[in-house]
A = this chain, B = another copy of it.
């Protein structure tokens, strides 16, 4: 498959790929210490992979779901070529329900469903596969466009903080927040990247550090609780993060910790940039309070890489996303353009601009 690791620039790594008539997912749960690829032949395997975080990152989840629809259509058409459009509905529902916060998942399933509705009675596999592959390609193009738009916002060479992983591994490729960081590094606008380790899943320690090290971009890990103290040293000028869902008013759901980071940034006059394709924007929700926040198993907090870290009787609270209000955000960067100091009016105007995703 086309998943490449450790052999060249890391921006070419693909977390999601279609090869050998199946969906290939780079298992992100133990990266970079173990590198395994999970092959999905059935849609249900994709649902499980999304739920279990084999694949994670809002855009990557959306792309995996689009391929999942291809697998579902192939199976149901083979089994019952007259009823496949009915039978696939349960799969689409299972995909949508796999994780609640990242709206890219719903976007991708809706897009594939629209295509299905318009299909003739022939085997749908090729048409749907082409649609999914095109969606995947456009996501990468969107990331490259956002990389340029975001890097242009950084006025002077500085240090930046990123949270979780919004890189090649979280997207179709290249990355959202890490796309901006890659471009800004190339433009000599970044001196040092600080990566929050991002408990409980340690996406920063495991994935972001790996991506940046392989691309020779200087990165230092920090404990999540260290960011405010780091900002106080005065070298960090930007916090750059991705998003799982953006409401119509510019409120942003992202990995737990983003909200605290944005509060600390405001306190230190550090700017906050959110980088996400408009497949992440949900204009049906007025504000962030309406975004469903996924709660995951407390065992994710009580263990690190399978090892208990607390008392056997301990309990934990594990919301895996939080909402950062628009007023704490300086710039939302999408493939349609940049929204500074976001509000509903500006978000609506941005959503009317041309998108790479409209090409289709």
Q: Is A134 an interface residue (CB 8 A)?
A: no
B315–A220 touching, CB < 8 Å: yes
Q: A197-B309, A309-B305 are in contact. Are A319 and B226 (CB under 8 A)?
A: yes
Interface presence of A198 (CB below 8 A):
yes
Are B263 and A221 in touch, CB under 8 angstroms?
no
Is A308 part of the binding interface, using a Cβ–Cβ cutoff of 8 Å? yes
Is A322's beta carbon under 8 Å from chain B?
Answer: yes
Q: Which residues of B contact A200 (CB under 8 A)?
A: 223
Number of interface residues of A (CB under 8 A): 55
Chain A 203-219 interface 0/1 with B at a Cβ cutoff of 8 Å (1 = within) = 00110011001000001
**Once the chains bind, are A226 and B263 in contact (CB under 8 Å)?**
no
Which residues of chain B come closer than 8 Å to A206, judged between CB atoms?
309-311
Q: Which residues on B sit within 8 Å (CB–CB) of A194? A: 317
Q: Is the CB of A222 within 8 A of B316?
A: yes
Report the minimal beta-carbon distance from A230 to chain B, rounded to whole angstroms. 7
Residues of chain B with a CB closer than 8 A to A223's CB? 199-200, 224, 256-257, 301, 318
A residues contacting B by CB (< 8 A) are 32-33, 163, 194, 196-200, 202, 205-206, 209-210, 213, 219-230, 232, 256-257, 259-261, 263-264, 267, 298, 301-302, 304-305, 307-311, 313-319, 322-323
